[in-house]
Amino acid sequence: MLLARVDEQHLTWSDVAGVRAVVEVEPAARDDQCHRDRVAVLRYGLARFESQADDSHRPAVGDLLETECPWLLGGHVAVNIIHSTGVEGARRATGTVVVIDVLRSFTVSAYALAGGARECRLVKTVAEARAVAASTPGAVICAEEDALPVEGIPISNSPTAIRDTDLRGRVLVQRSTAGTQAVAAVDSSPIFAASLVVASATAQACLLTKPQTLTLVASADHPEDHACARFIEQVIAGERPDLDELLRPLREAERYQRARSGAWPGFPPTDLDLSLEADRFDFAMPVRRADGYLLLTKASNAAS
């Protein structure tokens, strides 16, 4: 490594803070995920090193960078970004992990937290949702199976329904076919749940974890989840994402037309409008393991 002779204490995070990121996409060594997985190399330009009166090592560090690796002043520290899909992709996820479900699980979570919910508790089955809710005073269940409402549970996996429900101070228990299954499969940390409405805040929270590897998991092989992953990647790269272009494959899909028609039970057309607005909220959603569920909370501009 070019910086082997530089003591780590003289290359702290403060030395690399506030700099522009550049992303280069490279082919993955293997492709197990229907040609969806790929690896990107994220490189941060290092801040200019200036001598400090209280740090005698600074001039030496600057000299070494200029003579041995002048490109670093431009400059590059590699971080892998891995794109993955589904439960299997989540199981393989490493480093800081972002699990994405735009339509609609983690959009629901964001609207719940923005509406005053204390927290969201994520589970894998409807039976678990009922059990967690039964042991949690004031809990509200939001669930679907195969994107359809569940008998006996009045609130489906709908941002519209959550927006119109008073959740102030309450706990939302969530079960979904894609999002909660994928996040439960992750065996790394930290973990964030994400959707377009919290995309940029999630990107910032990921950077604050100082990741060597960042895995972006589309919870299902749907164009909106892949679009959100690329949106987050581009924000990290210091680019301005073109959301309309990223969402074009979704809007050309039959699934989108069905949802827009209003003929999908438990899927009002307004869910599309609420879900496909980028950066509506300025908080990230860290996830941690608890007893019998995964705990999703609100974190404004901070890592978990």
pLDDT grade for 65, boundaries at 50, 70 and 90: very low
Residue of 174 and 23 predicted with greater confidence: 174
pLDDT score of 55: 43
Model's pTM, two decimal places?
0.78
pLDDT score of 10: 36
List, for residues 117-130, the tens digit of each pLDDT value. Answer: 999 999 999 999 99
Rounded percentage of the chain residues whose pLDDT exceeds 90: 71
List, for residues 216-252, the tens digit of each pLDDT value. Answer: 999 999 999 999 999 999 999 899 999 999 999 999 9
Question: To the nearest whole number, what is the mean pLDDT of the chain?
Answer: 81
Sheet with 140-145: strands ordered across: 21-26, 38-44, 78-85, 213-218, 96-100, 191-194, 285-290, 293-296, 119-123, 171-175, 140-145, 148-149
What average pLDDT does the segment 77-99 reach?
92
Given a cut of 90, whether residue 288 has pLDDT beyond it is: yes
Burial of 203 (0-12, 13-18, 19+ CB in 10 A): buried
Given a cut of 70, whether residue 52 has pLDDT beyond it is: no
What average pLDDT does the segment 133-154 reach?
95
Given a cut of 70, whether residue 21 has pLDDT beyond it is: no
pLDDT score of 206: 96
CB-facing half-sphere around the CA of 227: CA atoms within 13 A: 23
List, for residues 262-283, the tens digit of each pLDDT value. Answer: 999 999 999 999 999 999 999 9
pLDDT score of 301: 65
Contacts of 150 (CB under 8 A, 6+ apart): 126, 143, 144, 156, 175
pLDDT grade for 78, boundaries at 50, 70 and 90: low
Residue of 16 and 134 predicted with greater confidence: 134
